[in-house]
Amino acid sequence: MHNIYTRINTIFSVLSMVAAIIIIVNCLSRIWIDPTPTLDFKIIRTNKIQNPQQPLFYFNLNADFRELFTWNTKYIFMFITVEYSTDTYQSDVVIWDRLIEKNESVLNITNEIAEYPVVDLVGKMPPCWQKENCVKPLATLNIYYDIMPNSGLILKRSALKHQFQITI
């Protein structure tokens, strides 16, 4: 009746269709699952490094990402940005990032130094940062995390926004 190649082709087609349906259901299941992590963040101090226009941050971070790790989560990419603006432009600078795997889903970080200083590439950082008796600019600290799934879309979430004055 049918030769071996026709039967192999039929089996492969059915298994491919079943795998595609499982992947689609997996991707769609992320719509209904939306847990939020527990975060506690505090800026301890800011220091300046060689250039007075490059503040460096020290912070404490306690985070619990256990609820975010489901059967479809590969890992979580977390990063902290500082956003500030001047009269002519707005900057959003990444100061710290971490790749979080399932076995380290609870973070207790104390007295951590930011990996990257806030560097002004344009050269128009507010001159007030260099003076002692003026109003320091407001900055917004943002904590984001990206959920990297085994299959499906990468989800970017905002976990925390905190306004503060940069003092160096």
Q: How confident is the prediction for the chain on average, in pLDDT?
A: 79
For the stretch 50-106, pLDDT in tens is 555 566 778 888 999 888 888 888 899 999 988 877 666 777 888 899 999 988 888
Report the pLDDT value the prediction gives residue 50, as an integer from 0 to 100.
Answer: 55
Global pTM exceeds 0.75: no
CB 166 within 8 Å of CB 95: no
Q: In 3D, which of 158, 38, 145, 157 has the Cα closest to residue 100?
A: 145
- C-alpha torsion sign, points 42, 44, 50, 51: positive
Q: In 3D, which of 81, 168, 80 has the Cα closest to residue 126?
A: 168
Task: Give me the phi and psi of 152, to 5 degrees please.
Answer: 120, -170
- How far CA 120 is from CA of 56, 72, 85, 86, 109, in Å, comes to 13, 39, 11, 11, 27
- How far CA 52 is from CA of 40, 48, 61, 119, 167, in Å, comes to 29, 6, 26, 10, 11
